[in-house]
Amino acid sequence: MPPIEENRLARLEEQSYFQEQSLAELNQALTRQQFQLDEMEKRLALAEERIAVLLPLLEEGGQNAQPPHDGA
């Protein structure tokens, strides 16, 4: 194989290697971000459940409840 073709082949192999490395790094980053997104969705769902339970209590208690310092 002529030297020019060997150099070209070596450059292509090097480029392919670095692209594979970049792809692996991007895949790891995407996997981490998906895990974080899943965790945030769970936390949001829990917060929404808590709000759904507390909101009616706040609406009820906010109108009829006395402030703590006005108690007996």
- How far apart, in whole angstroms, are the C-alpha atoms of residue 59 and residue 71? 20
Beta-carbon contacts of 9 under 8 Å, excluding residues fewer than 6 positions away, are: 1
In terms of pLDDT, which residue wins out, 10 or 68?
Answer: 10
Residue 32: both structure tokens together:
């981490």
In terms of pLDDT, which residue wins out, 60 or 49?
Answer: 49
pLDDT digits (tens, 9 = 90+) for 10-19: 999 999 999 9
Instruction: Report the amino acid identity of residue 58.
Output: L
pLDDT, average across residues 32-51: 98
Residue spans of the domains in the chain: they are: 3-61
DSSP 1: -
Q: Is the whole model's pTM more than 0.75, yes or no?
A: no
CA angle 56, 44, 52 (to 5 degrees): 10
Consecutive H or E run containing 41 = helix 3-64
pLDDT, average across residues 52-68: 78
